[in-house]
Amino acid sequence: MPWINPRRSIRKSLLTLLLPAAIALMIAAWIVHGLLLERMARGFVEDRLQDEVSFLEHQLRQSGPQEIRDIAEGDYFEEVFHHAFALRTGSQIHSSPAQWSRALEPLLKETETGFVRRTTPEPTASGAEFLAYRKALTLNGEPVVIVVAEDLTNLQQSQQELHLWTGIVSAILLTLLILAIWLAIRWSLRSVSRLQQGLTALQTGTSNRLDVDAPAEFQPLISQLNQLLDTLDQRLTRSRDALANLSHSVKTPVSAIRQVLEDDTRALDPDMRQQLAQRLSDIDRQLESEMRRSRFAGPQAGKAAQPVSQARDLLWMLGRLYPDKNFELETELGPETRWPVEEHDLNEILGNLLDNAGKWASHQISLNLSREDNQLMLEVRDDGPGVAPEKLDTLGTRGLRLDEQTPGHGLGLAIVRDILAGYGGTLQFTSAPAQGLVALVKLPRAGE
């Protein structure tokens, strides 16, 4: 809504919306009550007038001329029904009570049947405003017109008094409703105050996590904030561990190499050169491992990858790297499918698994992408020699290589396991004789 400022507090926004709405609805209900009361009162009066005209008609049909005169001139009708009436039979006109004659006798000149509502200029003579029902009929060959009327002045006064009391009661109820709305908003938004206090404690260092008893609507927000804090802690820990590992693993071999190179009294024989090269290779491997680990992003809000598009790009690149191998993609997911995984992390997972399969496959490597039970399934299958069942559990151990003849450092699968640990994913290997190795990755959604 354009008149609602999105930066305004929730309490003020709700009061701005609910209070005018409650007042408008109460006023509308009061107006509708007046209209319905008017309609019900008019309907009640009309039914009574019709019934009394029908009764008078029945009495006239069963009476002779003298009895008709007695009915018209007597006070029976007035005493029983408390209504004024006028009667014209032929040329004779009768009305009762007498003060109504001036208002009702003009209605006898017309012969149309129906209701007539009139206002008299002299309220003291008869009703200031009255409703009459007129009926024309033929009795013993003579035209007869019957008019029965009721004064609406007292009825309208009672109706207005009832409507006024309804308005007073509505105003009291509206006041109570406004108070209830204000209390409900204040009580409902206490969780926002607790969340604000939790954020303040987080900023001041009093707490390191948001632990707030908040409604279900705020739980995803709290979960995302805590996940962000966990990600930052993991990155800090990973960076510190990487620096410590790098310092520990590089410092000693670098010092040894420097001592050898600074010793100008000793010639470098082939064995020494090979040892230096091996030490430099170890340093290079350690640097590569820690640098790749430092690029892991981990779960992040707002970050998502397109597994199908990235898989196609990687398969095209690996097809050029291994021209004698056939890489295939099998999936029912659309290219627009997104998954809450950082793009570089997904590239590392797919790239290492496919590269490992490309090294060992004889001819065929297949990648299957699917979604099952709110998990992204990545299955990489090759037709290589496979791995002995007793060694499957050792795959992915950092620095462990089952075959030293194949180029590499044995870090690829370990990197995949490290990335999956940050996302709560799993990596499973299966192998069968003459069927190669199958690597199955399960990546859940964030928070699952």
Least confident range of 103-107, 244-248, 396-400 = 396-400
Looking at residue 390, the DSSP 8-state letter turns out to be: G
Q: Give the CATH number of the domain where residue 31 resides.
A: 3.30.450
Cβ atoms 379, 440 nearer than 8 A: yes
Looking up tokens 């962000």 gives 228
Q: Which among 111, 139, 156 is the end of a domain? A: 156
Half-sphere exposure of 218 (CA within 13 A, CB side): 17
Q: Is 63 exposed, middle or buried (0-12, 13-18, 19+ CB in 10 A)?
A: middle
User: What is the reported pTM?
Assistant: 0.46
| Backbone phi and psi for residue 316, each to the nearest 5 degrees, phi listed first | -65, -45
436 and 354, same domain (yes or no): yes
Least confident range of 83-87, 405-409, 439-443 = 405-409
Q: Which two tokens stand for residue 233?
A: 């802690």
Element (H, E) at 367: strand 364-372
17 and 152, same domain (yes or no): yes
* Residue 167 within any structural domain of the chain: no
Q: Is the pLDDT of residue 302 over 60?
A: no
Q: Give the CATH number of the domain where residue 377 resides.
A: 3.30.565.10
61 and 117, same domain (yes or no): yes
Least confident range of 154-158, 208-212, 349-353 = 208-212
Looking up tokens 């009702």 gives 104
Question: Which spans in 189-218 are helix H?
Answer: 190-204
251 and 373, same domain (yes or no): no
Taking the C-alpha atoms of residue 51 and residue 54, their distance in angstroms, rounded to an integer, is 5
Query: What proportion of the chain, given as a percentage, has pLDDT over 70?
Result: 71
318 and 287, same domain (yes or no): no
367: confidence class by pLDDT, cuts 50, 70, 90: very high
Please name which of 232, 230, 231, 250 lies closest in space to residue 242, comparing C-alpha atoms: 250
Strand order across the 375-382 sheet? 326-331, 364-372, 375-382, 436-444, 426-432
* Residue 438 within any structural domain of the chain: yes
364 and 438, same domain (yes or no): yes
* Residue 162 within any structural domain of the chain: no
pLDDT score at 234: 72
Q: Name the amino acid, one letter, at 16.
A: T
Taking the C-alpha atoms of residue 218 and residue 195, their distance in angstroms, rounded to an integer, is 9
Find which of 11-25, 243-257, 263-277 is predicted with most confidence, using mean pLDDT.
11-25
* Residue 185 within any structural domain of the chain: no
Taking the C-alpha atoms of residue 382 and residue 325, their distance in angstroms, rounded to an integer, is 10
320 and 436, same domain (yes or no): yes
Q: Is the pLDDT of residue 238 over 70?
A: no
| Backbone phi and psi for residue 401, each to the nearest 5 degrees, phi listed first | -125, 130
* Residue 184 within any structural domain of the chain: no
Taking the C-alpha atoms of residue 94 and residue 397, their distance in angstroms, rounded to an integer, is 119
Q: Is the pLDDT of residue 125 over 80?
A: no
Quote the radius of gyration of the chain (alpha carbons, Å). 48
* Residue 221 within any structural domain of the chain: no
Q: Is the pLDDT of residue 410 over 60?
A: no
Half-sphere exposure of 262 (CA within 13 A, CB side): 6
**Cα angle: 146, vertex 147, 153; to 5 degrees:** 165
CA distances (Å), origin 131, targets 98, 103, 151, 154, 253: 17, 11, 7, 12, 115
279 and 325, same domain (yes or no): no
384 and 267, same domain (yes or no): no
Domain range for 284:
233-294
285: confidence class by pLDDT, cuts 50, 70, 90: low
Q: Which among 156, 190, 225 is the end of a domain? A: 156
Q: Name the amino acid, one letter, at 93.
A: I
Peptide bond into 433 cis (omega under 30): no
372 and 253, same domain (yes or no): no
| Backbone phi and psi for residue 409, each to the nearest 5 degrees, phi listed first | -110, 0
* Residue 215 within any structural domain of the chain: no
Residue 62, helix vs strand vs coil: coil
254 and 275, same domain (yes or no): yes
326 and 381, same domain (yes or no): yes
Taking the C-alpha atoms of residue 386 and residue 303, their distance in angstroms, rounded to an integer, is 35
Q: Which among 294, 318, 347 is the end of a domain? A: 294
How many domains are contained in the chain? 3
Taking the C-alpha atoms of residue 191 and residue 208, their distance in angstroms, rounded to an integer, is 19
* Residue 186 within any structural domain of the chain: no
